[in-house]
Amino acid sequence: MQNKWKIVMPTPVPAAGMALLKVRPDVEAVVLGKFSTEAFHAALKDAHGVTLGLTPFGEAECEAAPELKVAARIGVGYDTVDVPALTRRKIPLMVTGIANSVSVAEHAIFLMMSLAKRGADYDRMVRENRWGDRFGELPVDLFQKTLLIIGFGRIGSRTAKRCLAMDMEVLVYDPYVPPAVIRGSGCEPVANLKDGLARADFVTVHCPKNAETVDLIGRGELAAMKRTAYIVNTARGGIINEDALYDALKGGTIRAAGLDVLDKEPPAEAHKLCALPNIIFAPHMAGVTAEALARMAAATVQNVLDVFDGKPNPDNVVNREVLA
């Protein structure tokens, strides 16, 4: 019987997560103050769990943590985690499931609306007293427009639900989701990405970034789109080829884009896309709201406690093979 479980937190977990520990006298949380690799490794020596924000966790950290039972990301992405290193040691990597899914879906719609309604342009016109410019290019409605959702998982499916409520026609490209499931959600599956792009007035990207999806949308895919189309990416940078997107926006191949993510974040210098007038940005904040942070904090700590209690939620385990 384990007398005391130890969780190492390289960065503080929001209050909603810490509250779960107050009723667990069998668990000790160690929050590192001023972070350093040396201090992190020293704390891991007798750690049973670790919560990870943006802190990298790889082979060296695994070696420093011989007692580790679980690693839990405060979020759903795990780009900075060496999953195979954990898997080799039968350590589950946990993510927060749907904790921020609705937040990202709302942000995708926010970017769509901002582009369609020319939000940033109109704000500048008022600030600069350029009211006479407001009729230059009229905004458009989302009503009865066609949306293509790329990736029909936790976020894509929630985006679809909200867009259907706005009377949009929703197409879905996701070769891993059965067409019957997509149709059952009120959407139309498309088997060919370019065919879906050609029909869409709006495109939102919600698929994971991996070897199959890097540069999923390049010059050929952008060329297939309508010249009046808008594209939004709240997934990961690099799924849309940024050089191809720059040329498409500058040359009028598509109308505009909204990006919450870039291939390199933050870029080493001002990104060339920033010079274009027909693109809006957010600094990778789609899944970060006050409510989402609270939900993610609670889910992160609960994921660790569930492993300690011998009942990990398989839906939140990245490397499910370790549960076998």
Dig out the tokens for 324 from the structure: 């076998």
pLDDT at 2: 59
Do residues 193 and 224 both lie within one domain? yes
Which residue spans within the chain are E strands per DSSP?
A: 5-9, 27-31, 49-52, 70-73, 93-94, 146-150, 169-173, 188-189, 202-205, 230-233, 256-259, 279-281
Do residues 124 and 90 both lie within one domain? no
Do residues 18 and 35 both lie within one domain? yes
Do residues 181 and 311 both lie within one domain? no
pTM: 0.90
- Which range marks the domain in which residue 233 is found? 101-281
Do residues 153 and 189 both lie within one domain? yes
Please compute the mean of the pLDDT values over residues 286-296 and round it to a whole number: 96
* Phi, psi (deg, nearest 5) at residue 30: -110, 110
Length of the chain: 324
CB 233 within 8 A of CB 209: no
Kindly report the CATH number assigned to the domain that includes residue 250: 3.40.50.720
Q: How confident is the model at residue 86 (pLDDT cuts 50, 70, 90)?
A: very high
| Marked catalytic residue, from 63, 67, 137, 265 | 265
Do residues 169 and 302 both lie within one domain? no
Dig out the tokens for 168 from the structure: 């949009």
Amino acid at 252: G
Q: Helix 101-116 crosses helix 119-127 at what angle (to 10 degrees)?
A: 60
Helix (H) or strand (E) holding 284: none
Q: How confident is the model at residue 34 (pLDDT cuts 50, 70, 90)?
A: confident
Tens of pLDDT, residue by residue over 40-52, are 999 999 999 999 9
From the list 249, 260, 191, 259, the residue with the least C-alpha distance to 225 is 249
Do residues 249 and 295 both lie within one domain? no
Examine the residue annotation and report whether 265 is marked as an active-site residue of this protein. yes
Do residues 107 and 232 both lie within one domain? yes
Dig out the tokens for 120 from the structure: 């940033």
Residues 6 or more apart whose CB falls under 8 angstroms from that of 18 comprise 29, 297, 301
% the chain with pLDDT above 70: 99
| Marked catalytic residue, from 48, 236, 271, 295 | 236
Tens of pLDDT, residue by residue over 153-185, are 999 999 999 999 999 999 999 999 999 999 999
Examine the residue annotation and report whether 236 is marked as an active-site residue of this protein. yes
Tens of pLDDT, residue by residue over 98-144, are 999 999 999 999 999 999 999 999 999 999 999 999 999 999 999 99
Do residues 194 and 106 both lie within one domain? yes
Do residues 193 and 233 both lie within one domain? yes
From the list 29, 7, 158, 14, the residue with the least C-alpha distance to 74 is 14
Q: How confident is the model at residue 77 (pLDDT cuts 50, 70, 90)?
A: confident
Residues 233-259, buried b or exposed e (16+ Cβ, 10 A)?
Answer: bbbbbbbbbbebbbebbeeebbbbbbb
| Marked catalytic residue, from 134, 162, 284, 320 | 284
pLDDT at 1: 47
Is the per-residue pLDDT at 148 higher than 50? yes
From the list 78, 142, 148, 73, the residue with the least C-alpha distance to 110 is 142
Please compute the mean of the pLDDT values over residues 277-303 and round it to a whole number: 96
Is the per-residue pLDDT at 3 higher than 80? no
Question: How many domains are contained in the chain?
Answer: 2
Do residues 45 and 134 both lie within one domain? no
pLDDT, the chain, mean: 96
Examine the residue annotation and report whether 134 is marked as an active-site residue of this protein. no
Q: How confident is the model at residue 33 (pLDDT cuts 50, 70, 90)?
A: confident
Do residues 252 and 116 both lie within one domain? yes
Tens of pLDDT, residue by residue over 6-21, are 999 998 899 999 999 9
